[in-house]
Amino acid sequence: MALDAVVESILATSKDKVAQVNSETDQEAARILNEARERAAEIKSRKEAEVGHAVEGIERREISSANLEVKRSELNVHKDLLEQTRAKLIEKIQNLPKKDNEAMLKKMLEPYDLKDMKVFSNKKDEAFISSLASNYGGNLDIIGGVVVESKDGALRYDLTYETLAREVFSSRMKEVSRILFG
């Protein structure tokens, strides 16, 4: 029976060693698993941060693009309103009462010695301008105003309503914008 006792003793020792190895293996596996989970959590956290930054960048670009589009639309509206204002100015000038138009034409011509100059106007103002300037130069396709030119054509003064309105409108653009858009 002594052999049985030796076998049992060897089996018991082997079982203890197997249990110890299994325990160590389980602990090693748990440690490796924990390390893997920690690395996975770090990778996940890093990737989430990268995605978060990428999303923030995309959001910033989209917001910037949207703001730019709003500005562009706003500027187009401003441009259209300014063009409408300019068109109304031209329309008002075109529809000046005859008395006011003639007073303005006379005032425009005061600084010039009309004996040495040719004066051009539109067809509508031809009779009035001819009464003021002995050297009437002819008709131009303009809404109003005059063009004064030296006899030899070397000097030419464009005092047409279109030109004067364009110059006034351009020089007063900031003021007109401020009035219209605040």
Domain that holds residue 135: 96-181
Determine, yes or no, domain membership for 170.
Answer: yes
Residue 122 has pLDDT above 90, yes or no: yes
Determine, yes or no, domain membership for 162.
Answer: yes
On whether the CB atoms of residues 114 and 132 are closer than 8 A, the answer is yes
Determine, yes or no, domain membership for 18.
Answer: no
Number of domains in the chain: 1
Q: For 136-164, what is each residue's pLDDT tens digit?
A: 989 999 999 999 998 888 889 999 999 98
108: CATH: 3.30.2320.30
> Which amino acid would we find at residue 29?
A
Question: β-pairing, 117-121 with 145-150?
Answer: antiparallel
Q: For 165-176, what is each residue's pLDDT tens digit?
A: 888 878 877 777
Determine, yes or no, domain membership for 48.
Answer: no
Residue 1 has pLDDT above 70, yes or no: no
Lowest mean pLDDT among 9-13, 80-84, 110-114, 163-167: 9-13
Determine, yes or no, domain membership for 82.
Answer: no
Determine, yes or no, domain membership for 115.
Answer: yes
The H-or-E segment that residue 51 falls in is helix 2-94
